[in-house]
């Protein structure tokens, strides 16, 4: 599998600025990322533990793990307001997976997720790929996420019945660049 360090392929992501509040996540962002994942009220303990596990892989070696994290930082108070986790899809020349995109509860509706999504688009283009694939749940609490993906131009291409649990389908979205 070929993976890329975001900071190597996107030099303008090295530090966030008021014009580009998204940058590769720092080791010190871990606590804020986990707090955000818990605070949205959608993810259970196992899912939050998965975010932590993926972040550990990112810190250890993004190239080997295949996971890249981006943080949206409020430059005025140097506070992380959101994060995205993405990586090249194994055995694919053109796809990346967007594993997580999450905005702090109090920052929702202010463009944080959209900025993170655009940063993932740019990172995807920078590594010569053209398709973003997103898996999400059909549960009602995930409706805002599904609506967000559609607003960002993603298309629901498949829905697998009872994938996660009885009554909880897998919704697969894609976004072509």
Q: For position 76, what pLDDT does the model report?
A: 80
Tell me the pTM: 0.88
Q: What is the pLDDT averaged over residues 43-68?
A: 96
- Spell out the domains of the chain, with CATH numbers in brackets: 6-129 (3.40.630.30)
Q: For position 78, what pLDDT does the model report?
A: 83
Backbone angles phi, psi at 40, to 5 degrees: -75, -15
Q: Angle 25-30-36 (CA atoms, 0-180°, nearest 5)?
A: 95
pLDDT one-digit tens code per residue, 136-160: 999 999 999 999 999 999 999 999 9
The chain-wide mean pLDDT, for the chain, equals 90
Q: What is the 3-state secondary structure (H, E, C) of 49-98?
A: HHHHHHHHHHHHCHHHHCCEEEEEEECCCCEEEEEEEEEECCCCCCEEEE
Q: Can you tell me whether residue 165 is helix, strand or coil?
A: strand
Query: In this structure, what is the dihedral angle of CA atoms 76, 30, 8, 21, given to the nearest 10 degrees?
Result: -20
Whether pLDDT at 115 is above 90: yes
Q: Which helix (H) or strand (E) is 112 found in, with range?
A: helix 112-126
Report which of residues 20 and 105 the model is more confident about: 105
pLDDT one-digit tens code per residue, 56-80: 999 999 999 999 999 999 978 889 9
pLDDT one-digit tens code per residue, 84-104: 999 999 999 999 999 999 999
Cα 67 to chain centroid, rounded: 10
Looking at the DSSP bridge assignments, the partners of residue 46 are none
């Amino acid at each position: 599998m070929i993976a890329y360090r975001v900071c190597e392929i996107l030099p303008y992501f090295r530090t966030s600025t008021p014009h580009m509040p998204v940058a590769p996540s720092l080791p010190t962002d871990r606590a804020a990322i986990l707090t955000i994942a818990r605070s949205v009220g959608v993810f259970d303990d196992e899912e939050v533990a998965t975010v932590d596990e993926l972040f550990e892989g990112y810190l250890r070696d993004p190239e080997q793990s295949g996971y890249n994290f981006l943080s949206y930082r409020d430059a005025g108070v140097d506070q992380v307001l959101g994060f995205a986790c993405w990586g090249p899809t194994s055995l694919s020349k053109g796809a990346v997976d967007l594993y997580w995109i999450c905005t702090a509860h109090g920052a929702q509706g202010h463009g944080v997720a959209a900025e993170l999504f655009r940063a993932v688009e740019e990172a995807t283009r920078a590594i010569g790929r053209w398709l973003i694939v997103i898996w999400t749940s059909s549960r009602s609490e995930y409706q805002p996420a599904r609506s967000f993906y559609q607003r960002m131009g993603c298309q629901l291409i498949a829905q697998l019945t009872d994938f996660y649990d009885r009554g909880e389908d897998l919704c697969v979205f894609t976004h072509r660049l």
